[in-house]
Copies of this chain bind each other. A is one copy, B any other.
């Protein structure tokens, strides 16, 4: 593929739409629309080793429970079950961002990183957004005194049995990553 032109077609601070003109493998001229949180999208800066965000899969060792949050999501005009997550700040490691977001969103303390994915892509037909999945152990009590005012979050602690029950409730909106991890946990009892 050869990039011919990239136009930023909106002018917002945190999210923009881009139109990319390119020549495909067969020599055809084409264009593609996508959204990006980056002022220079990844296809231009080639910054594929940096993730935009961290998604934390927190296991509470003492309670022997998987932690998920129920959070208001504006584009869904309602609550979604998902994992704690957030954008990685400039200069912050994935583990540092995970520790900070877990505390802010749930009040829980990260005690051990179990596994970290490479940057993986949310939905690459629509956006260059990438996330690192960070599997951790955590401790402490849930509270939301660290929530930003825009956040409206309830923390849930799930056993394998409770996870099975939750997945059967089709009135719940799930984030896809969370649905996949919960499905594995429901089946196997592990992550």
Which of A12-20, A94-102, A106-114 is found at the contact surface with chain B? A12-20
Contact (Cβ within 8 A) A73 B127 = no
Contact (Cβ within 8 A) A35 B32 = no
Given A173-B48, A176-B177, also A73-B125 (CB < 8 A): yes
- Once bound together, how far apart are the Cα atoms of A177 and B150, in whole Å? 28
Which of A36-44, A58-66, A138-146, A155-163 is found at the contact surface with chain B? A36-44
Contact (Cβ within 8 A) A129 B126 = yes
- Once bound together, how far apart are the Cα atoms of A163 and B73, in whole Å? 34
Copies of this chain: 2
Residue count of chain A within 8 Å CB distance of chain B: 66
Nearest Cβ in chain B — how far from A137, in angstroms?
18
Q: Report chain B residues within 8 Å CB of A77.
A: 1, 3, 42-43, 46
Of B17, B30, B124, B129, the contact of A73 (CB 8 Å cutoff): B124
- Once bound together, how far apart are the Cα atoms of A175 and B10, in whole Å? 26
Contact (Cβ within 8 A) A128 B32 = no
Give the interface centre of A1, A131, A170, A176 by most chain B CB atoms within 10 Å: A176
Q: Report chain B residues within 8 Å CB of A118.
A: 170, 174
Name 5 interchain pairs, CB-CB below 8 A, sorted by A: A10-B10, A24-B150, A25-B72, A43-B76, A75-B128
